[in-house]
Amino acid sequence: MDLIEQTPYRFLIPQQGAMRVPGIVYASRALLPALSGDRSLEQVVNVATLPGIVEASYAMPDMHWGYGFPIGGVAATDPAIGGVVSPGGVGFDISCGVRLLAAEVDADELKPVLGQVTDRLAAATPRGAGRGGIWRLTGAGQMRRVLTGGARYAVEQGHGVERDLLRCEDEGAVADADPSQVSTRAIDRGLHQVGSLGSGNHFLEVQAVEEIYDDVAAQRFGLRPRQVCVMIHCGSRGLGHQICGDHVRAMEKAMRRYGISVPDRQLACAPVRSPEGQGYLGAMAAAANYGRANRQVLASTVRHIFSQTPGGSLDLVYDISHNLAKIETHLVEGKTVSLCVHRKGATRALPPGHPDLPADLREVGQPVLIPGSMGTCSYVLVGIPGGGAFASTCHGAGRVMSRHQALREVSGPELQRRLQARGIEVRGASSRGLAEETPEAYKDVTEVVAAAEGAGLCRKVARLVPLGVVKG
């Protein structure tokens, strides 16, 4: 595969064969995936063959192999020229995202009770693959209200405050949700999981603001040095997973009817304007709303625990998803075009002045929340003017080691002792789950952020370090 270094943080895969556009990889040389063990560059090429794709098939610095699309992949298609939507461009954990809350209390003030607070957070947060959630819905009727109302409905039911919605992407709910496109099986899987972390790389983490890089943006976001924050990373649980699987199967059957062939069956797709495309987008939006409600309920529980700690009130900094496809307006070859933008393991990073930003953030740009691996730092970034890849950037550290490899490297108790020795309180749902998420299994998030910033996709605002970790 030809890979041409255009700048220290931008590599070109020239258009060739069935590719309709080139591939663009934002990364440093050190962050490029190993060709022998990671097929994500091949996936960048495969995505470039999708009908209606425009500009380029993009990959972020945290890219790694995923289902159909690479994780860290961004692609936009034009519905006016037969552009498609692909569930593989969103993934199985629809609307997986990050929520950051900022406390009044400083790290030094929290330290004497940190262990107790972490214990209480762990006890109050349902974790694990099959676990139910805090908010047990009463039936399909209430589920429909979650699927259409998202975080807004959760707030109406007492799980949060109105200001939360102003600091949440889409003000807490995607408008085009269509619960009729969600299967009974997906509904059943989601009924009792609202307000739960799940497993894998999902977490709830107590953090401290260690460094500020942009005083103006940090002040507008509500961040200051040594301040305690809480970061929540989770998605749409079994409901989102079921929706993805259901619609992949429907599109596999429909592709022949539309004359579409793809190099990888995991790229199953349908035209955006087709019944199958509209059905998936409606179901995906419903799952996105479920994900927002999920994080809203978890945040409400965290608030309750912190309210019993002096100075422990929490304000929402922002809530953003990194697994979505959205209909957005962008400039392509000098023309304003409506596009279906897939971001899988990539975060929207709107620039200052964008009309979709809340009024109090419009001057500085959109907060971008980048969690690191367990025991390492996380970052708050901000969108900038002229950011590339349809105003997108990275979403985290990016995995480099399989879970089986991680288990061979370290045991859960050993990792917990190592982190506790650094003053980090750790509460895992299982010893195996902890070991699978060892920091060595991930890229260096600081290098990832440096590459994203160096590529002109975003700008650093703050660095946060972990104090207490509750793992799914």
| pLDDT score, position 36 | 67
Instruction: Let me know if residue 416 belongs to a domain.
Output: no
Confidence band (pLDDT; 50, 70, 90) for 93? very high
Instruction: Let me know if residue 289 belongs to a domain.
Output: yes
Instruction: Let me know if residue 136 belongs to a domain.
Output: yes
Q: Please state, in angstroms and as integers, the Cα–Cα distance from residue 362 to each residue in 104, 385, 452, following that order.
A: 24, 12, 22
Instruction: Let me know if residue 421 belongs to a domain.
Output: no
Mean pLDDT, rounded, for 148-175: 96
Q: Would you please indicate which residues are annotated as catalytic (active-site) residues? A: 395
Q: What is the DSSP string of 277-341?
A: HHHHHHHHHHHHHHHHHHHHHHHHHHHHHHTTSTT--EEEEEEEESEEEEEEEEEETTEEEEEEE
Mean pLDDT, rounded, for 120-125: 95
Mean pLDDT, rounded, for 254-263: 96
Task: Give the model confidence (pLDDT) of 370-417 as tens digits.
Answer: 999 988 999 999 999 999 999 999 999 999 888 899 999 899 999 999
Task: Give the model confidence (pLDDT) of 240-250 as tens digits.
Answer: 999 999 999 99
Instruction: Let me know if residue 277 belongs to a domain.
Output: yes
Number of domains present in the structure of the chain: 1
Distance CA 311, CA 21 (A): 53
Q: Is the pLDDT of residue 172 over 90?
A: yes
Instruction: Let me know if residue 414 belongs to a domain.
Output: no
Instruction: Let me know if residue 114 belongs to a domain.
Output: yes
Distance CA 94, CA 246 (A): 13
| pLDDT score, position 368 | 98
Q: Looking at residue 234, which CATH number applies to its domain?
A: 3.90.1860.10
Confidence band (pLDDT; 50, 70, 90) for 141? very high
Q: Which residues form the domain of 172?
A: 4-400+442-471
Mean pLDDT, rounded, for 200-204: 93
Mean pLDDT, rounded, for 233-260: 97
Q: Which residues contact 224 (CB under 8 A, 6 or more apart)?
A: 209, 212, 218
Which of 185, 186, 159, 178 is closest to 294 using CA atoms? 159
Stronger pLDDT, 96 or 429, i.e. the higher one = 96
Instruction: Let me know if residue 186 belongs to a domain.
Output: yes
